C-alpha cells in the first residue's frame, strides 16, 4: 500500500473479528517495524507488554477498561510502556554498530543530557512511545489489519496488574486485528490555518 494511502486510511477501529488469529510471523513483523521508530540518543525506551492471556484481557476489559470490546476481540492487544531510566542502563549497547568516535561522543553526552531532569526522562519516554505506536499502527494498516489506540483504562490498577516497574511510565494500548465494523466518518479535521504557526505565536 502506498505510504500516503496508509496514513489517510488508518482509523481507530472498534469492531474486530474475535476469531481471527495473527500469525507469530505477522506479529514479529509488526513489532520489528515498530522498533524502527526514532528515539532520543537511540535509547529505545519502549517496552511492549503483549496482553495475550484471555483471562487477563477480560479482566482489563470489564474491570479496568470501561468494557471496550476491542480489548478482548482484537487479535492482538499491546500495552506501550517506557523505561524512563533507559539512559542509565548500559548506554554503549545503543551504539554498538556506530563508528567508535560517534559511539563515544553519544554515550558521553547521554548522562549530561538526562541527569537530574526527571521531567525530560518522562517526556522522552512518552515521545518514544508515541512514535513507536504510530509506526505500529501504520504497519498494521499496510499489512491489511486495522488498529485502535486506547487510553481509556485505569492506569494505576493496570500498572499493578502487570507489575509495572517504578522506573517505567505507562502509555496507551493498541488493539490490532481484522475489522468487522466500519468506523464512523472522520468527525472533523481542523484547518491548517488554525494549526500552523510561522516562526512565533
pLDDT digits over 1-38, tens only? Answer: 899 999 999 999 999 999 999 999 999 999 999 999 99
Predicted structure pTM score: 0.95
Task: Assign domain 3-195 to a CATH class.
Answer: alpha beta
* CB neighbourhood size of 117 (10 A): 13
Half-sphere exposure of 62 (CA within 13 A, CB side): 6
Asked if pLDDT for residue 168 goes beyond 90, the answer is yes
Quick one: how far is CA 170 from the chain centroid?
10
pLDDT on residue 1: 83
Terminus-to-terminus CA distance in the chain, angstroms?
A: 37
pLDDT tens for 136-161 read 999 999 999 999 999 999 999 999 99
C-alpha distances (whole Å) from 170 to each of 53, 78, 104 are 19, 12, 31
Amino acid at each position: 500500500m502506498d505510504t500516503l494511502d496508509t496514513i489517510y486510511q488508518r482509523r481507530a477501529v472498534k469492531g474486530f473479528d474475535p476469531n481471527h488469529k495473527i500469525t507469530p510471523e505477522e506479529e514479529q513483523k509488526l513489532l520489528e517495524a515498530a522498533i524502527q521508530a526514532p528515539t532520543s540518543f537511540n535509547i529505545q525506551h519502549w517496552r511492549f507488554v503483549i496482553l495475550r492471556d484471555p483471562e487477563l484481557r477480560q479482566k482489563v476489559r470489564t474491570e479496568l477498561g470501561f468494557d471496550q470490546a476491542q480489548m478482548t476481540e482484537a487479535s492482538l492487544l499491546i500495552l506501550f510502556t517506557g523505561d524512563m531510566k533507559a539512559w542509565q542502563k548500559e548506554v554503549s549497547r545503543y551504539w554498538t554498530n556506530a563508528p567508535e568516535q560517534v559511539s563515544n561522543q553519544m554515550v558521553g553526552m547521554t548522562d549530561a543530557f538526562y541527569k537530574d531532569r526527571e521531567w525530560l526522562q518522562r517526556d522522552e519516554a512518552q515521545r518514544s512511545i508515541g512514535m513507536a505506536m504510530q509506526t505500529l499502527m501504520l504497519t498494521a494498516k499496510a499489512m491489511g489489519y486495522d488498529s485502535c489506540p486506547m487510553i481509556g483504562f485505569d492506569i494505576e490498577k493496570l500498572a499493578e496488574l502487570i507489575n509495572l516497574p517504578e522506573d517505567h511510565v505507562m502509555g496507551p494500548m493498541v488493539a490490532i486485528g481484522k475489522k468487522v465494523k466500519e468506523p464512523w466518518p472522520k468527525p472533523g479535521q481542523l484547518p491548517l490555518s488554525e494549526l500552523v504557526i510561522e516562526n512565533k505565536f
